[in-house]
A and B are shown apart, each in its own frame.
Chain A
Amino acid sequence: MESSPTQEFEYLFKLLMIGDSGVGKSSLLLCFTSDSFEDLSPTIGVDFKVKYLTMEGKKLKLAIWDTAGQERFRTLTSSYYRGAQGIIMAYDVTRRETFTNLSEIWAKEIDLYSTNPECVKMLVGNKVDKESDRVVTKKEGIDFARECGCLFTECSAKTRANVQQCFEELVLKILDTPSLLAEGSKGNKKNIFKDKPSQSDATSSCC
């Protein structure tokens, strides 16, 4: 759990990572935020990391939510789609099932739970370092991305190939979308009706 010191920022964007269990979502996130690789234990429910960076002269704070891919956790993770400006759909190039499930399961989850019609979606094929085990070609990925209307990239969390570019490309696309940029602006008050603070349910921590 990364407790980052408070830094100045002008824009706060929410990114969400989804995909089957074991494709490497958590490793990708760790690689991007800490530039390291680790074979992490399966995510339990939801995890998050915060990353500060400056792009196009703007100071950004990224809240990146990492979700567990197991079916039983889907109800819990579905609430984190709300308001996300960017969504990363991850699959494992060495397991075709994880690619098939993107259209069978995860694209439908986005339709159901995403409340941001203009959110930027990015298709990410991970584990390209295992080229000899590859079963999903790059062309298949490109075709699916075009069909879905989302960005596409392949990378490897283990070798750190292309991971940084992957997230940066996503953020650049968000910065190019006026409505998303306005949402992320610090002074934005998106809600039509003023929120009334009600009693919050404190979740008991087992960690």
Chain B
Amino acid sequence: MEAHASSFVSKARTAFHSAAAKAERVLMDFKIDLDSDKQFHDEFGRQRGDESARSEKFLDELKHIKWRPPHIGTKQDWQDRINNMRKGRKEVEVTDKVGDVSMASAPFYDENMYILNVKNDLDAKASEAIPSVEGLTAATKYPIPPSSVLKQLAIAIESGRQTNSMKDFVASSRGSSPAREKAGLSLSSVKALVLREKEDKLTSEFSSDEKVVYLINSLFDQEGEFLKRNSDPEETFISSLPRDIHGAPLESLVVKLAEVIGNFKTLREMSLFWSRVVDELRKHWSEEKHLPGIPPDDIPDLKSCLLYQQFQVINCCISRKKRHIIATESLDTMVMEANSNALESANYTGKIPTGPLLYARLRTGELVLRLGADCPSGDLTLLETGEPAYSPVTQEGPLLTEDLIKETEEFVLRTGSVGAGCSQLLSDMQAFKAANPGCILEDFVRWYSPPDWSESEGSTEDRDSSYGGESMSTRGQLSLRMQKEGNLWRELWETSKPVPAVKQAPLYDEDLAVEDILDAFEDIQPSELFGQLFVSLLSFGFAIAETMLYGDLDLSKLFNDCKEYIVTTCQSDRFNEKIDELVQMYETVEKMLLNPDEALKMKHMEESTMTTDESKRRFSTGEPKHRFKRLSHIFGGKDKLLTRPVCKNEVNDEETQIRHSFSSFFDSKSSLFSKKPPKPGNLYPAEQPLSLESDRTVI
């Protein structure tokens, strides 16, 4: 413990000097003149929250640290300082020489004031960063989600590409950024040491934040009103775009999730919110509550994104578990009632039981309870007993998402195993036997595989010789292929025991399946998650726009060009390189809806350009190239406008580095001199560079 503290102090001290040296260099670069004590205190007293003001205060403080002459106070002053140091030692266990007191005490006092101001500012900023339900609801007045939401998802895809799992992403989104790495490893390691201990606390604080809780509750509200856009229910036109580009159905949980997550301001909060969503999914599963905005009992739709398929599996498994419980209770009740009837039957010989219980009479005349019988199987009767044949309740098949299908297929190809079919056939045979006492393989085949049974009229002679005295109107036979020696169907039939479906070993384990999905969610690759959300939101916006622009001939043409580009890009394997262009397409469509005239002007400008290049167009090959060429003109125009933002980004980049140095310096000092352990508020300076980087990519 003490050794650890010593190591910590040593690193902190090194970091402190390193940061001080860097700050001093920055100070020299700025060539700021000396200032009086009075002016410094005045500026500090105003407690201005402005970013640049904070920087200036910091610079002023640095001047005082450097140039204020050593102050030898009264005996009482010394006594007070020593007492303060003793109190401080209990918390940070810092041993200082008396000679350092004069220098340490002043920054100590000022640092506290500054920390308070910084904390207040950052608290306010954090409060604004978390989107509110009211804010998101207000945004639904716009026809499609704002393009800023899509941009944020695009940023997350780029940032998450080097990370393998969401857990790492949460840590790395705070701990490492290009600007901070330049400050040196020692500084980063100290920061990691300090902040790591507070990570869990901050995470839980995020989860319990009032706004976050409200967002989660609204998102998972069963009514499904949250983020609903005023779409015309009369509209029968359904866009195929979401399925063409592997998005998600309109108004589904995936689309709403994309819109919510895209409204967070920092990558870290986006990740934390996803963790909160996964917790909520676990809660729904354990409470057997269906997810809203997802069909309750559909098999996975392979044309939608994997995330949507997995949500479908969760809901479908919930439905199946409910059905299984009902079926099990029903069967148990039936068996108990049958046993009870048997007792009564013993008391009253010859009485035939009544009620909903189903019995089959064997050739011996014995009555046997049918287990798991569903409904009569048409006009079929059992060949040997003449009893009606019942279709049994059967187990339901596996719910395979696209990733599991691929794995299953590769497994079968690699091992040659086709066991899944045999397992199901065996299960069905056992269920059939339980529901149809006295049945034979031929009965099963007539129900399961009608083409393998052929009816034929028997002659009188055959009838007499085969079934002495019994009258049978018809007699059939299995198909030749079914009669073959070594036929696996017969072998399975002879192996099977009469067991109703609900009592069999499950062919598909719902608990295992959903647990796998939830585990995959926790450890999902960030670019995979944000990529799916991006495509879902993109398809959602375009699908709504398609409906709204349906009747407008001029805008429809431009829209269809954008749409075709999007479909082609999303279906190709170069998707990751084209995200920025997809965002621009979305912005174009957004403009069409919000400002049609300007969009038309752009269209006309583009058309005039086309006229100019008419000679070139003659040599273009095929319509698709032609359209993409026109699209590139639109982008070409936009590219010219990017020059100025690039310069701005450079300026922002410099400011980012400067602020980073300053915030690192303060973090180190706060950990060294603070009487209390660093509060969660102190963690926010680490987020600033990240936010600025996010801003930097805004065009």
Contact = CB atoms under 8 A, between A and B. Distances in A.
Given A48-B412, A189-B573, A195 B421 contact: no
21 contacts: A22-B481, A39-B480, A44-B418, A44-B425, A45-B424, A45-B425, A46-B418, A46-B421, A47-B418, A76-B421, A115-B302, A194-B525, A196-B524, A196-B528, A198-B407, A198-B520, A199-B516, A201-B407, A203-B423, A204-B419, A207-B418
B512 to A, nearest CB: 8
A141 B417 CA distance: 35
Interface string A6-27: 0000000000000011100000
Contact of A75 (B299, B302, B306, B425): B299
Contact of A201 (B303, B408, B428, B575): B408
A126 B523 CA distance: 50
A112 to B, nearest CB: 9
A149 interface: no
Interface stretch (B25-33, B398-406, B630-638): B398-406
A75 B428 CA distance: 14
Contacts of B407: 197-198, 200-201
Nearest to B397: A75
A73 B394 CA distance: 12
A79 to B, nearest CB: 4
A201 B514 CA distance: 13
B496 to A, nearest CB: 11
A82 B400 CA distance: 11
- Greatest chain B CB density within 10 A among A20, A47, A198, A206 is at A206
Interface string B378-398: 000000000000000010111
A112 B492 CA distance: 31
Nearest to A39: B481
Contacts of A3: 416
Contact of B302 (A39, A113, A204, A205): A113
A98 to B, nearest CB: 8
Interface residues of A, number: 50
Given A22-B452, A44-B418, A203-B411, 9 more contacts: A41-B484, A42-B482, A48-B418, A75-B396, A82-B302, A190-B573, A193-B306, A198-B516, A207-B417
Contacts of B424: 45, 72-73, 76
Q: Which one of B396, B425, B523, B535 has the greatest number of beta carbons of chain A within 10 Å?
A: B425
B570 interface: yes
Nearest to B415: A205
B411 A42 contact: no
Interface centre among A44, A193, A200 (most CB of B within 10 A): A193
Contact of B452 (A1, A21, A63): A21
A46 B302 CA distance: 19
A167 interface: no
Contacts of A78: 299
B421 A41 contact: no
A40 interface: yes
The 6 A-B pairs of least Cβ separation, nearest first, read: A45-B421, A75-B397, A206-B422, A205-B419, A22-B451, A44-B421
B481 A76 contact: no
B528 A207 contact: no
A200 B411 contact: yes
B418 A76 contact: no
B145 interface: no
Nearest to B572: A192
A188 B525 contact: no
B147 interface: no
A161 B585 CA distance: 54
Contacts of A50: 413
Contacts of B512: 201
B479 interface: yes
A113 B570 CA distance: 20
Interface in A34-78: 39-48, 50, 63, 68, 70, 72-73, 75-76, 78
A22 B479 contact: yes
Contact of A20 (B428, B451, B520, B532): B451
Contacts of B406: 82-83, 195
B528 A193 contact: yes
B242 interface: no
A63 to B, nearest CB: 6
Interface in A80-108: 80, 82-83, 95
Interface centre among B303, B412, B527 (most CB of A within 10 A): B412
Contacts of A40: 481
B528 A73 contact: no
Given A82-B302, A198-B516, A206 B419 contact: yes
B413 A48 contact: yes
B489 A44 contact: yes
B511 to A, nearest CB: 13
A70 B449 contact: yes
A80 B409 contact: yes
A34 to B, nearest CB: 16
Contacts of B524: 196
Contact of B488 (A41, A63, A193, A194): A41
Contacts of B302: 82, 113, 115
A192 B573 contact: yes
Given A48-B412, A200-B411, A206 B303 contact: no
A199 B576 CA distance: 26
Contacts of A203: 408, 411, 417, 419-420, 423
B531 interface: yes
Given A22-B479, A44-B425, A201-B404, A39 B484 contact: yes
Contacts of B413: 48, 50, 63
B487 interface: yes
Nearest to B485: A41
Q: Kindly name the residue among A43, A73, A83, A113 whose own CB sees the greatest number of chain B CB atoms within 10 A.
A: A73
A20 B452 CA distance: 11
A41 B482 contact: yes
Nearest to A198: B520
Contacts of A70: 448-449
Contact of A206 (B426, B481, B528, B576): B426
Nearest to A27: B481
B268 interface: no
- Specify which of A78, A113, A197, A200 lies most central, judged by the most chain B CB atoms within 10 Å of its CB: A200
Given A41-B482, A42-B482, A196-B528, A207 B403 contact: no
Contacts of B519: 198
B246 interface: yes
Given A44-B421, A193-B528, A72 B448 contact: yes
A205 B520 contact: no
A204 B421 CA distance: 10
A73 B481 contact: no
Contacts of A195: 403, 406
A205 B412 CA distance: 10
A136 to B, nearest CB: 16
B489 A196 contact: no
Nearest to A200: B407
Contacts of A75: 299, 396-398
Interface in A118-165: none
Nearest to B451: A22
A125 B449 CA distance: 21
Contacts of B573: 188-190, 192
A82 B405 CA distance: 8
A76 B402 CA distance: 14
Given A42-B482, A46-B412, A79-B405, A193 B527 contact: yes
Interface in A168-207: 188-190, 192-207
B425 A79 contact: no
